[in-house]
Amino acid sequence: MPLCANSPSSNRDLLHTSGMSMIFKRGERTSRGSSVRILIIVFVDALYFSILTPLLPSMQTEFGLDSAATGQLTAAYLFGILIGIFPAGLIVPRVGSRWAAVGGVVVMGAAGISVGLSETFANIVASRVLQGLGSAVAWAGAMAWMTASVPIARLGQGFGNMLAASFVGAFIGPLLGGVALITGRPVAFGLLAGLCLVLNAGLLLLAAPPGPAPRSPSGTARVRTTRFNKSLAAAIFAVSAFAGGRFVLPPLMLARDGTSGESIALLYSGSGLIMAVVAFLAGRAVTGSKRHVVVFSGLTMAFLAATAFVIIQGPSLVMALVILAGCAIQWSMTGGFAAMTQENQAAGLEPSMSWAYLNVVWTGGFLAGSLGTGWMAAVSSDKGAWALLAGCIAVSSLLSFRVQRSERLRSSAPKGKRSVGSQGGT
C-alpha cells in the first residue's frame, strides 16, 4: 500500500503499524527458535532417563540384584532431581534460563559418560543421581524459558509440546538401550554425550529469553491456588507413582516370561511415541474449566490400567497395558501440569519456583512409585504392588472429582453469590 501524500498522520500510523508488524514477526521467529531449543532440552533429558529401561533385566543379572535394588537404578535419577529442584529454582533467576539449561545439559552429559564406563552398581547409582541433578537444573531453565515466551492462555499447548518432545525422547531412549545391549553401555552413552555437545552449541548461539513481567499476587489468587493445588498435587503424585511402577515392574515381569531385552526396548519406544501424540492432543484440550476434566479422565484410565495389571497374565496383555497406562499417564499429567502452572502464575510465583514446586510433586511420586513398587514386589508380589498403586489413584480421583464438581457449581452460581463466597474465603 503506498503512503498517503496528503495525510501525514495516516503516514505515521501506517509506518507505526508496519514497524509493529515487522517486530511481531521477528519476535514470532525468535519465539519459535526458543521453543525448538526448549523441546530439545526435554528430549535429551527423556533420552537419559529412559535409556536404562531395557537394560534393567540384564543389569539385574549382571550385578545380582533383587527387584528392590533394581528399582534403585530408576529411583537414583529421580533422587538427584529431588535434591536439585529447589536449588535449581534459586539458580535460574540469578544466572538466567539459558545458562541454567546449558549447565544442566553439561552435567547430564558428563554423568552419562560415567554411567557408560562404570563397572559397579554403586558407581552407576551415583552417576544416575548426578544426572538427576543436571536434569533438575536443565528443566528449571527450560520451564522459565517457556513461561517467559508463552502467554498464560497458551500454557496448555506449551506443556503439551514439551511433554510430547519428552516422550519422543522416551521413544528413542529405549532404542539406544537396545543398542547398548549389543554394543555395550560406553557406545550408547557416548553417542548421547555427543548429542549434548551439539545441543549446548545451539543454546549458546541463541539470544537470552526475555524475563517474565513481575506480578503482584492478591489474597484471592493465593486462596484459589491453595484450594485447586490440593487436588492437582494429589493427582500428579498418584499418576507419577503409577508411572514409576510402569518403568520398573513390567520389564521385570516380561523378562520372567521370556521376553528379550530388545523386545522390551521396542515396547517402551513405541509407547513413548504414542504418548507424545497423546501429550500433543491433551495440551490442546486443556482450556479453562476443561483442565480438571482432562485430569479426571486420565486418572480414571490410569485406575483401570493399574487394576488390570492385578488381574491379567501373559506377555501380550502386559505389553498392551504398558501402552494403555502410558496414554493415561500422559493425558492426566499434561492437564495437571498446565493447570497447576496456570494457578501458580496467577498467584505471581516466579516461573522457576513454580516448576520447582511442581517437580517436587512429580518427582516425589515417581520416586515413591519406583522404589515402593520394587519393594512391594520383593516382599509380597507384583499384584500387591499394582493394587497399592490402584488404591492411590482411586483416592486422588475422588478428590479431583469433588474439586471439579465444586468448581462447576461455583461457576454456575449467580455472580453476587460467587463474590460473597470469594470474600468469605479470603
pLDDT per residue of the chain (426 residues) written in tens, 0 to 9 = 343 444 444 444 433 433 433 333 434 444 555 567 777 788 888 888 888 878 888 888 888 888 778 878 878 888 888 888 888 878 888 888 778 888 888 888 888 888 888 888 899 999 999 999 998 888 888 877 777 766 666 666 777 777 777 777 777 888 888 888 888 888 888 887 887 777 767 666 655 555 544 444 443 344 344 455 677 788 889 999 999 899 888 988 898 888 888 888 788 878 878 887 888 788 777 665 566 777 778 888 999 999 999 998 889 999 999 999 999 998 888 778 777 777 776 666 666 677 777 778 888 888 888 888 888 888 888 888 999 999 999 988 887 677 666 665 565 555 555 444 444 333
Give the sign of the dihedral formed by CA 333, CA 338, CA 343, CA 347: positive
pLDDT digits (tens, 9 = 90+) for 211-249: 544 444 443 344 344 455 677 788 889 999 999 899 888
Is pTM beyond 0.75? Reply is no
Residue 224 pLDDT: 45
Q: Domains in the chain: how many in total?
A: 1
> Over the range 287-323, which residues count as b (16 or more CB within 10 Å of their CB) and which as e?
eeeebbbbbbbbbbbbbebbbbbbeeeebeebbebbb
CATH for 284 = 1.20.1250.20
In a domain, 23, yes or no: no
Helix (H) or strand (E) holding 102: helix 97-117
What cell does 119 get? 563397572
Q: How far apart are CA 100 and CA 121, in angstroms?
A: 30
pLDDT digits (tens, 9 = 90+) for 406-423: 665 565 555 555 444 444
In a domain, 119, yes or no: yes
Nearest residue to 283 (alpha-carbon basis) of 321, 333, 213:
333
In a domain, 425, yes or no: no
In a domain, 419, yes or no: no
In a domain, 86, yes or no: yes
In a domain, 8, yes or no: no
Residue 176 pLDDT: 83
Q: What range defines the domain where residue 222 resides? A: 35-411
Q: CB of 286 within 8 A of CB of 159? A: yes
The helix/strand count (H/E) of the chain reads as: 14, 0
In a domain, 405, yes or no: yes
